[in-house]
Amino acid sequence: MSYIEEDEESGPPLYCERPEWADVTPIPQYEGVSSPIAPIFYTPDYKDATDYFRGIVKTGETSERVLELTEDIIRMNPAHYSAWQYRYRTLLALNAPLDAELRLMDDFAVNNLKTYQVWHHRRLLITHLTVSTPGAKPTADPLDTAQAELEFIVHVLDVDTKNYHTWSYRQWLLAHFDDSALWLGELPYVDELLQADVRNNSAWHHRYFVVFGRGSKAQATPAEEAEVLQREIRYVKGKISFAPNNISAWNYLRGILEYSKTPFSSQAVFAESYTVRRAPWDDEDVVDLDNPKPSTDADLPSVSAMDFLAEAYAREGGDSITKAVDLWKALANQHDTMRKKYWEFRIKESLETKSG
């Protein structure tokens, strides 16, 4: 975007040219500072709007026209948090219909994905729309609203599957409304995303959030919990088998074992087949469904598998530490030399623990 393009003659009139704004005194930004350092060269329309914004803030006016002014500003600069703040206060003061505000924000969100304020504003609106006060029903049905939001976000994530703010907003929605029906729909969605890109770490994080984030709130019996854990272990091992160097999946495996306090060594047999270059079972016909083997195109050994197996050995302690050290040495000197210092630290630390 160049200065010229933004300054086209065809734009709407400036606030200083509009009679209906004549009663507002615009305030230039550095009043009383003779020569501010590092100034930004604003376009005339932006300078005009923000001068009027400062004027409005000073008088504390909350009226319909403030909504127009703040919309104008956030369209030009969605990171203008004060304009957002003031807009929200004005909406509340005017008792403005917040569902209309939410629809206004839909396009805005898609075009300004990376702005904090866009998502936070939605969160404020949604909270306000669905809150029940004593003796009064909420303006919008909480479950329907949440469902609609989740569907809206799917479209946004289509544009950018790893958008941080969108994902954290989605997670907030699930936790805030905390309804089993909402949580249930998430797993198929995550699976779809991982089918499309098994390396999408945001999707793996979301899976963890959905499956384990509720913790005791999910009110599962120990047997159900065990079943979920087994299902997840099977799932992630299947995903590892056709992309064995995908660290996102290995991190997920480590995460769920850690969460459930399951020893890493329970998956040592699985990991081991990913740590060797030539697989001796290539000729075997036996298929072990619990421990899927690496795909034929896999680039082995997988650094993540070696890291995992070494961790399993190290935690076993005793004589297994020697086996961990051998793996760390291979990582430090051959397979993952960038992290030489880290692997050497692990060796030193484990030997000291052993001798101590």
CB of 211 to other proteins, least distance (A): 11
Contact with other proteins (CB under 8 A) among 113, 148, 150, 175: 175
Interface with other proteins, residue 295, by CB under 8 A: yes
* Residue 53 sits in the site that holds other proteins (CB under 8 A): yes
Pick from 243, 331, 332, 347: which binds other proteins (CB under 8 A)? 243
Q: Which of 47, 58, 114, 348 is an active site residue?
A: 114
| Selection from 199, 203, 123 nearest residue 158 by Cα | 203
Nearer to other proteins, 19 or 260 (CB): 260
**Residue-wise burial string across 20-58, b where 16 or more C-beta atoms lie within 10 A, e elsewhere:** ebeebebeeeeeeeeeeeeeeebbebbbbbbbbbbbbee
Site for other proteins in 189-228 (CB under 8 A): 196-202, 204-205, 208-209, 212-217
Query: Residue holding tokens 């036996």?
Result: 286
The H-assigned helical ranges of 131-163 are 142-159
Q: Using CB under 8 A, pick the residue from 150, 152, 160, 172 that binds other proteins.
A: 172
Is 261 considered catalytic here? no
Cβ proximity to other proteins: between 19 and 355 the closer is 355
Please tell me the number of Cα atoms within 13 Å of 304 on its side-chain side: 18
Note the Cα 183 to chain centre separation in Å: 17
- Determine, following the binding rule CB under 8 A, whether residue 276 of this chain makes contact with other proteins: no
Of 69-128, which residues contact other proteins (CB under 8 A)? 76-82, 84-86, 88-89, 116-117, 120, 123-124
Element (H, E) at 201: helix 201-212
Least distance from other proteins to the Cβ atom of residue 287, Å: 20
In the structure encoding, which two tokens stand for residue 294, read together?
Answer: 């690496």
CB atoms within 10 A of CB 11: 11
Q: Which two tokens stand for residue 309?
A: 């197996």
**Which span (100-108, 167-175, 184-192, 281-289) binds other proteins, by CB under 8 A?**
167-175
Handedness of CA 323, 244, 290, 257 (dihedral sign): positive
- Minimal distance, residue 336 CB to other proteins, in Å: 8
